[in-house]
Structure 1
């Protein structure tokens, strides 16, 4: 029973995290980056890998 509970909790956690993912493109649409929880905390966004993003 404990193992089943752990699996259910893990599944719920993974479902929550995958619901918060996404992709953002730059203005020219030739570069994009993925983020896990919020676009502002993506490593690619922080280092400016794609330049200004489209709004």
Structure 2
């Protein structure tokens, strides 16, 4: 029974995290960056890897 509970909890966490991911493209559509929870905390965006992005 404990294994089922652990599996259910893990599945719920993964489903939540996968629902909060995405990608953002720059204006020229030749570069994108992925984020986990919010685009504002993406490392690629922080270092300016793609330049300005469309909102």
Normalised TM-score (structure 2): 0.97
Instruction: Give structure 1 regions of 4+ aligned residues with deviation exceeding 6 angstroms.
Output: none
Please, which runs of 5 or more residues in structure 2 have no aligned partner?
none
Q: In structure 2, what is the equivalent of residue 5 of structure 1?
A: 5
Please, which runs of 5 or more residues in structure 1 have no aligned partner?
none
SS of equivalent residue, structure 2 residue 23: strand
Normalised TM-score (structure 1): 0.97
The alignment yields a C-alpha RMSD, in angstroms, of: 0.5
Q: How many residues align?
A: 55
SS of equivalent residue, structure 1 residue 33: strand
